[in-house]
Amino acid sequence: MRALADPVQDTLLQRGRFARAVWAGLGLLCVALGIIGIMLPLLPTADFMLLALACFARSSPRLEAWLLTHPRFGPSLRAWRTQGAVPRRAKIYACLGMSVGFLLFWLHVKPHWGISVGVALFLSFWAIWIIRRPEPAAGA
């Protein structure tokens, strides 16, 4: 008989081993894609790390803690989790990346004006959404 119940561990134990393995595998895949995104422009690193964090939360508290305490990715992930915040530098890079991506799309694909406007509106919506996210509180 256990003295104290750990709700996180109990929830994970209720899930099957197979489901936890799938979530962990998806999380590791997202981490790998995020690391590749550091070197390849236009491949989002932060998005993949956020997905990895969600996968690890469903599979492995140890991997989740590793990602949250990672020296490079941890502070941004913790700020997002606790405050829904995005650092100013990340906002700038996200908007620059979307602008460069749109410019490359426009120059190389040469889409019909209607498609260009649609893609520009789509990217503008997400740029505004990112810009409007709060910035992490000092010391958080």
Question: What would the pLDDT profile of 32-47 be if each residue is shown by its tens digit?
Answer: 999 998 887 667 888 8
> In this predicted model, what pLDDT tens digit does every residue of 74-83 receive, in sequence order?
888 999 889 9
Check residue 133 and report its DSSP letter.
S
- Is the pLDDT score of 12 beyond 60? no
Q: What is the pTM of this model?
A: 0.71
Mean pLDDT of 112-118: 93
pLDDT tier for residue 1 given thresholds of 50, 70 and 90: very low
Q: Locate the domains of the chain by residue range.
A: 7-83, 88-132
Q: How far apart are CA 2 and CA 138, in angstroms?
A: 41
Output phi, psi for 109, to 5 deg.
-90, -30
- Is the pLDDT score of 139 beyond 80? no
Nearest one of 138, 109, 134, 106 to 120, comparing CA atoms: 106
